[in-house]
Structure 1
Amino acid sequence: MAGVQTAVELRQQGWRGHITVLGDEPHPPYDRPPLSKAVLLGAAEGGEDVDVRFDVDFAALDVDLRLGVRAEALRADKHEIVTDTGVVPYDKLVLATGAYAVTLPGTAGLENVYPLRTLDDASALRPVLARQRQVVVVGAGWIGAEFATAARQAGCPVTVVEAADRPLAGALPAAVTEPMRAWYGESGVDLRTSTPVAAVDPGEVVLADSSRLPAEAVVVGIGARPETGWLGGSAVALDEIGAVRADDRLRTTAPDVYAVGDCASFPSARYGRRLLIHHWDNAVQGPRTAAANLLGGDEPYDPVPYFWSEQFGRFVQYAGHHGDEDTMVLRGDPEAASWTVLWLRDSTLVALLAVDRPRDLAQARKLITRSAVLDPAVAADPAVPLKDAVR
């Protein structure tokens, strides 16, 4: 998404020179969110194919799209990329290599272990759902929940194991995630928290307490890391987890090199910290800024992060960014069908999680963008529109 959007933005913003897009996958560029949603849900509902390709006419845009070409090194001093098919020179370069799925140690080569990151990953998992295999999902994060949802709809027995004490422990506080635990049981999923995986053997998963779970398929959803190993030793600075350290104009530390999407972090003046956002909206918004600056502009990049997740019959949306120091305000009952959580920093709205309350989300994004100050007591009343809680 980020690479293709950059090419589209360059054309829309007036660039008429040559554009080359390199991609290491053999498939035409595609949309990633449906891989854990519509693609798998299509399999659950009868095996219909879901077209996830971008609706982009590369020929009409005069974009040289080269598929199956993997970048192996960057020679920033020579303005060259070394690929597995040869050297590609550039005047300006945008890094949009995304992220890769983290794997479980000791599972390399096991045929019954699946990540869920790419189109090929989703295609490999479709037969698992179609044959109603017994599935163990490792990780109760966003991807784990979405796959468990599709697998249950397909009729698969599903167990989700999570090393932390609750779902989404790394993303949300316990007061928010604890009510989500019930969603698993309601859908017939056996959720086991505080349960690290010790090993995966053929046909089963061995847990840290030595218990064993039968598993015809093991789906791993324990996070992703920036796909930047090929930049090692180059002039592009990386952080401790390998993300490209872009500045607030999405420039890297190498001349004429920018970075967008899952592979890059950037400093946010809005939140006073560096952000690494692995979500679709960032891959759409970042290219607009990168293209403008590549063409001579001077635009800062400081979006309100946004993502959504469809799981267990619920539509979950999140906007903004919160920290432990922020004040949490419940807007509705988390045991109910729909509810919202707000995070305030000195009464300024900085983030929101909405469960089946899209109107709250739509209003909150605008309020966060303009740093609106809310009356917490008024904002806590779900019957009052959020915009009416502004002081």
Structure 2
Amino acid sequence: MNDQRSQTQRHVVIAGAGMAGVQTAVALREQGFTGPVTLLGAEPHQPYDRPPLSKAVLLGKAEDSAFDVDFEDLGVTLRLGVEVTALRPADREVDTADGPVPYDVLVLATGAEPVTLPGGPVPGVHLLRTVDDAARLRPVLAGRHAVVVVGAGWIGAEFTTAARDAGCPVTVVEAAPRPLAAALPAAVTTPMAGWYEAAGARLLTGTRVAALEPGRVRLDDGTELPADAVVVGIGARPATGWLAGSGIERGADGSVTADARLHTSLPSVYAVGDCASFPSARYGERLLVHHWDNALQGPRTVAANILAETADRSPEAVYDPVPYFWSEQFGRFVQYAGHHTDEDTLLWRGDPAADTWSVCWLRDGVLVAVLAVGRPRDLAQGRKLIESGTAVDPAAAADPAVPLKSAAR
């Protein structure tokens, strides 16, 4: 049964005040939604951007990374320090510690939460996910303390970069045989492993942590590493545990199972950003993308479909992006666009021993992904080719002297 109330009467509640939640509120107003919008943020701070946390904020070059958004001017009710704890779709309410919040349309934008090692809290062990985490780590870097980083993924590499820039002795412990093993093939990550040593960091691969103890890290082979501080960066998972019992469909990875319009299995409930997976017709599989650009782009689709729903039209906006992210590590600007699998053909553009190089992945002759290290033009041109589904000449695509756009067939 359709809700016949006008748009101005329908209340949109957004659970989560990170990039995805904030951009959903902004997109709703930009696209002409005039009804009430409430944004619920679990943290007490003004909503902020996360990428600067491992860079400017961590190094003390900036106090915060708050979004430049005037919520009052937008007519958005911002409620901070209000964590959602449950969803009751039959009553169209979300529960919080401050009491229930009713909604007509709900947007799930609760993001992801860091994976932690087993055991309880240990003094000196840190995560790097929030502005408070960055604030706690700033004295560590300022004091040039000895640091052990657990995990050689994207966040581990970025923190190691910042810690070495600050003059901290750093040891990185990675359970996999190489950095970024879950994201990139061995041929690509092998040269990246050398970046750690060149930066003065010690990298231990194929090594597991047995225990975290005050002042030290004990490895599974019995080795003990002294540590003034430990930073754990072993991944993140969708922050959706609070949805248990709501009846909403979730995947094995915990992500909310959204459709191509970012609508969930519940009426008038959408999901966007790190907490949601979506089907990609472009890649023929469901994607869960834990990156900034996804949290920026997805809200536009959600807003368009909410406007259609509140105008009693069928939501038609489809979300099928070319995923994109970047990382700054060890003096290099690393960018990736697209999505690849192990079955795709890998092409090198340039020498991986050099400071700048790229990698392309082809599927049936069509460019589906590109990784660029210090070659932003390759990324920009490759992203356009991926978006258009353009076939390329492999020989031209593998020649770093040939502009990637010129490899199009």
Fold conserved between structures, TM > 0.5: yes
Q: Which one of the candidate residues 207, 213, 221 is aligned to 1:195?
A: 207
Q: Which one of the candidate residues 104, 109, 118 is aligned to 1:91?
A: 104
Q: 1:282-314 CA deviation, whole Å, 9 max, x = no partner?
A: 001000001001111311100000000000000
Q: CA deviation at 1:21?
A: 0.2
Q: 1:130-173 CA deviation, whole Å, 9 max, x = no partner?
A: 11110000000000000000000111000001000000000000
Aligned residue type for 1:19: V
Normalised by the length of structure 2, the TM-score is 0.93
Identity %: 69
Q: Does 1:69 align with 2:82?
A: yes
Q: Distance in 2 between matches of 1:309 and 1:151?
A: 15
Q: Distance in 2 between matches of 1:60 and 1:67?
A: 17
Q: CA deviation at 1:189?
A: 0.2
SS of 1:60 mapped into structure 2: helix
Q: Distance in 1 between matches of 2:138 and 2:238?
A: 26
- For residue 346 of structure 1, what is the aligned residue in structure 2? 364
Q: Which one of the candidate residues 169, 174, 177 is aligned to 1:165?
A: 177
Q: Does 1:209 align with 2:204?
A: no
Q: CA deviation at 1:85?
A: 0.3
Aligned residue type for 1:99: A
- For residue 113 of structure 2, what is the aligned residue in structure 1? 100
Q: Distance in 1 between matches of 2:216 and 2:37?
A: 48
Q: 1:330-373 CA deviation, whole Å, 9 max, x = no partner?
A: 01110011000000000100000000000000111111000010
SS of 1:284 mapped into structure 2: helix
Q: CA deviation at 1:249?
A: 0.4
- For residue 314 of structure 1, what is the aligned residue in structure 2? 332
SS of 1:86 mapped into structure 2: coil
Q: Does 1:287 align with 2:299?
A: yes
Q: CA deviation at 1:78?
A: 1.2
- For residue 113 of structure 1, what is the aligned residue in structure 2? 125
Q: Distance in 2 between matches of 1:166 and 1:150?
A: 20
SS of 2:267 mapped into structure 1: coil
Q: CA deviation at 1:51?
A: 3.4
- For residue 38 of structure 2, what is the aligned residue in structure 1? 20
Q: Does 1:381 align with 2:393?
A: no
- For residue 366 of structure 1, what is the aligned residue in structure 2? 384
- For residue 4 of structure 2, what is the aligned residue in structure 1? none
Q: CA deviation at 1:241?
A: 1.9
Q: CA deviation at 1:38?
A: 1.9
Q: Distance in 1 between matches of 2:284 and 2:62?
A: 43
Q: CA deviation at 1:50?
A: 3.9
Q: Does 1:323 align with 2:341?
A: yes
Normalised by the length of structure 1, the TM-score is 0.98
Aligned residue type for 1:6: T
Q: Distance in 2 between matches of 1:166 and 1:109?
A: 28
Q: Which one of the candidate residues 64, 80, 90 is aligned to 1:51?
A: 64
Q: Does 1:60 align with 2:69?
A: no
Which range is displaced more, 352-361 or 290-299?
Answer: 290-299
Q: Distance in 1 between matches of 2:386 and 2:291?
A: 18
SS of 1:322 mapped into structure 2: coil
How large is the Cα RMSD of the aligned pairs?
A: 0.7
Q: Which one of the candidate residues 20, 27, 33 is aligned to 1:9?
A: 27
Q: Which one of the candidate residues 125, 141, 154 is aligned to 1:129?
A: 141
Q: Distance in 2 between matches of 1:235 and 1:74?
A: 9
TM superposition outliers: structure 1 runs of 4+ over 6 Å: none
Q: Distance in 2 between matches of 1:295 and 1:8?
A: 13
SS of 1:307 mapped into structure 2: strand
SS of 2:100 mapped into structure 1: strand
Segments of structure 2 that go 5 or more residues without pairing to the other structure are 1-18, 309-314
Q: Does 1:254 align with 2:266?
A: yes
- For residue 239 of structure 2, what is the aligned residue in structure 1? 227
Q: Which one of the candidate residues 169, 176, 179 is aligned to 2:191?
A: 179
Q: Distance in 1 between matches of 2:63 and 2:398?
A: 40
Q: Distance in 1 between matches of 2:344 and 2:204?
A: 29
Q: Distance in 1 between matches of 2:381 and 2:349?
A: 14
Q: Which one of the candidate residues 63, 72, 94 is aligned to 1:81?
A: 94
Whether contact under 8 Å (2:64, 2:131) holds in the other structure is no
Q: 1:218-238 CA deviation, whole Å, 9 max, x = no partner?
A: 000000011111100102111
Q: CA deviation at 1:23?
A: 0.6
Q: CA deviation at 1:194?
A: 0.5
Whether contact under 8 Å (2:56, 2:62) holds in the other structure is no
Q: Distance in 2 between matches of 1:49 and 1:246?
A: 36
SS of 1:194 mapped into structure 2: coil
**How many residues get paired?**
385
